């Protein structure tokens, strides 16, 4: 077993148990009248956004979208038409200052059966609390170290915080596997002959309110990748300011010191606990 104290292990385990949080009680549920479970709640809206949205829809209705006093309803339509309506909705929210960091990239909302029901601007997913997807890759060495990236200070979200070797949101036309390989090259310079060796090890459902920015609901697809002792990560897209190679015990300490992004903290804690228990 790596040199982790009982209290450190307990703290990491408790943290993982709290990965999925409920939306605050005053957040408005978003009901979807389509999919395999018509009427299911697929998102949550910050109540501070409701007056603007309600007034907007009264003055200029959007097909398939209805606003009640305590909830938002999205009616069933084919994915293309529904995506058009939601794009209008997202654009209005962006104009009102409720969508932050417009990315010009679509995420897809996919149900439990793997069917896509709509796609929408990535930045709007948090505004509405829709469930998105991301891949995270733990880079490790046989010597017992983890490679971690430090996010660029210019990043709109979590600048300067520690992250996994590579991580990124899964676009509407990507699989988790393809996304992981792309992010490994762009963020850490891992060539395909190495990234082909990624090992899918699990998934973490992450849910938490983001003060002033809505509700973050994301499925994190986790991969492990063993790296040669002489491999040095190199960033290609400007999103990472540098990398550090540290033992598991130091990574755990940095997690508990709140130096990581929230998502990477959970993914790294999961890796540490899985490997700490092997001995």
- Tell me the per-residue pLDDT of 208-244, one tens digit each, with 9 for 90 and over: 998 888 999 999 999 999 999 999 999 999 989 999 9
- By the 8 A CB rule, do 74 and 32 touch? yes
**Percent of the chain surpassing pLDDT 70:** 98
**Together in a domain, 172 and 246:** yes
Supply 174's token pair.
């990507």
Q: Does 118 share its domain with 176?
A: no
Residues in the chain: 279
Residue 1 lies in a domain: no
Residue 43 in this model has a pLDDT that exceeds 60: yes
Q: What is the model's pLDDT at position 192?
A: 96
Q: Are 215 and 126 in contact (CB under 8 A)?
A: yes
Nearest C-alpha neighbor of 225 from the set 254, 263, 184, 255: 184
Domain that holds residue 143: 6-21+132-276
Q: What is the largest CA-CA distance in the chain?
A: 64
Do 167 and 98 lie in one domain? The reply is no
Output the pTM of the full model: 0.93
Q: Cα(33)–Cα(118) distance, rounded to whole angstroms?
A: 13
User: Would you say residue 84 has pLDDT above 70?
Assistant: yes
Choose between 187 and 3: higher pLDDT. 187
Average pLDDT over residues 205-209: 95
Give CA–CA dist 61/59, Å, rounded. Answer: 6
Do residues 76 and 57 both lie within one domain?
A: yes
Mean pLDDT score of the chain, rounded to an integer? 94
pLDDT level of residue 277 (50, 70, 90 thresholds): low
Q: 108 has which bridge partners?
A: 119
Domain count, the chain: 2
């Amino acid at each position: 077993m790596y040199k982790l104290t009982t209290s450190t292990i307990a703290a990491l385990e408790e943290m993982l148990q709290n990965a999925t949080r409920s939306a605050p009680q005053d957040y408005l549920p978003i009901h979807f009248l389509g999919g395999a479970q018509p009427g299911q709640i697929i998102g949550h809206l910050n109540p501070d956004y409701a007056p603007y949205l309600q007034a907007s829809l009264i003055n200029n209705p959007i097909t398939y979208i209805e606003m009640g006093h305590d909830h938002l309803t999205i009616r069933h339509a084919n994915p293309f038409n529904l995506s058009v309506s939601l794009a209008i909705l997202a654009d209005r929210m962006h104009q009102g200052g409720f969508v932050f960091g417009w990315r010009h990239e679509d995420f897809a909302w996919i149900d439990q059966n793997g069917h896509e029901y709509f796609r929408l601007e990535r930045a709007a997913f948090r505004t509405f609390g829709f469930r998105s997807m991301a891949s995270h890759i733990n880079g490790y060495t046989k010597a017992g170290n983890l490679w971690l990236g430090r996010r660029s200070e210019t990043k709109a979200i979590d600048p300067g915080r520690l992250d996994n070797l590579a991580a990124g949101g899964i676009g509407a036309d990507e699989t988790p596997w393809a996304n992981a390989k792309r992010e490994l090259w762009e963020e850490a310079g891992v060539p395909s002959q190495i990234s082909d060796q990624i090992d899918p090890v699990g998934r973490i459902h992450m849910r938490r309110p983001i003060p002033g920015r809505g509700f973050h609901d994301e499925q994190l697809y986790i991969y492990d990748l063993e790296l040669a002792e002489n491999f040095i990560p190199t960033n290609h897209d400007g999103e990472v300011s540098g990398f550090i190679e540290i033992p598991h015990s130091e990574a755990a300490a940095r997690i508990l010191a709140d130096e990581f992004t929230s998502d990477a903290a959970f993914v790294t804690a999961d890796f540490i606990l899985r490997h700490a228990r092997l001995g």
